[in-house]
Amino acid sequence: MSNRKTILITGGAGYIGVHCIVSLVKAGYKPIVVDNLYNATSDALKAVEAIIGEQVQFYNLDVLDKEALAKVFQENEIFAVVHMAALKAVGESCAMPLKYYHVNVSGTIILMEVMREANVKNLVMSSSATVYGTPQYLPIDEKHPVGGCTNPYGKTKLFMEEIMQDVYASDKEWNIIVLRYFNPIGSHESGTIGEDPKGIPNNLAPYISQVAVGLREQLSVFGDDYDTPDGTGVRDYIHVMDLAEGHSCAVKKITEKPGLKIYNLGTGQGYSVLQLLKAFEKATEKNIPYKVCPRRAGDIAAGYADPKLAEEEMGWKAEKGIDDMCTDMWRWQSKNPNGYSS
């Protein structure tokens, strides 16, 4: 086991992080996790250990704690970092912009300083399709202009990308892959790990599944007057295990010393809110009540990816469709109605 390359995942106890652990172990890497459990739980790590059949080395610390983070690098021979630690709720970012800039931007600066001092210069970053702002054309490819972000969360991701581009320009020893996620949903097929938001879910899919399992009364559909086929917002939903595979492909790509690369992780297929709702009803065999509410500030009408570049350069392609996403998500939610605390 000692010849497995060690990958540090910041924010690795979160929804996407634990699914990435499964994928990285399958690809022959040894993941270790740093997480302050602000929006996650150590129960998720216990659950993922049951899937992979080994213990995950875990450091309960904050990426803003430079000294503690440096110690992790001193204690381990780290090959690359997958940087996921960030605050991620769009609405909350509008209410608390300073907190978002502090955690997301300062956290990235501190991490990269520690990496530089430890001479670990391989980095995969979790970014977001929100950096594209309101789409100027569809599907969105990596040449699409960035900026014009509709909320502080999206701006923090854009600034994190800008910081990485400037660092790379100053020192070509860095290898950085930026992954722009579209809308991850679903869960591992075992139903053992999945999305467990603290408080009221900010994202559509976990909200729908909480309505289906009886935790919430009905779904709020924000706006049915968009210029889309059924008037509701259209998004590119991607199965979280496909997304996780994207990170394994990115870590493999890092071994080729690619310099700085940016890839979209999406399916290339857009689904409306009501189409996702119907797919969920099919998976759950339940009627899911909903009401239409006014549009939310900062929401776009439609956004979906052109994911071809990731396939051409990393050999990655999303394999799972909307029915898989809903079926797997429902398996997790129905087995764990109250999340990891069930």
Annotated catalytic, 153? yes
Nearest to 210 by CA among 272, 288, 283, 282: 288
Residue 333: Cβ within 10 Å count: 27
The three-state secondary structure class of 3 is coil
CA-CA distance, 43 to 38, in Å (whole number)? 13
Q: Kindly give, in sequence order, each residue whose CB lies less than 8 Å from that of residue 278, ignoring residues fewer than 6 positions away.
A: none
CA-CA distance, 99 to 103, in Å (whole number)? 6
C-alpha dist (Å) from residue 143 to 9, 137, 253, 262, 313:
28, 11, 20, 10, 15
Q: State the helix-helix crossing angle for 152-170 and 107-118, rounded to 10 degrees.
A: 20
Neighbouring-strand partners of residue 239: 185
What are all long-range contacts of 129-133, with beta carbons under 8 Å and residues at least 24 apart?
A: 129/180, 129/181, 129/182, 129/183, 129/236, 129/264, 129/266, 129/303, 129/305, 130/90, 130/154, 130/157, 131/157, 131/158, 131/161, 131/180, 132/180, 132/303
Q: Which of 153, 207, 263, 271 is catalytic?
A: 153
Radius of gyration in angstroms for the set of CA atoms belonging to the chain, rounded to a whole number: 19
Place of tokens 């071809």: 308
Residues annotated catalytic, as ranges: 153
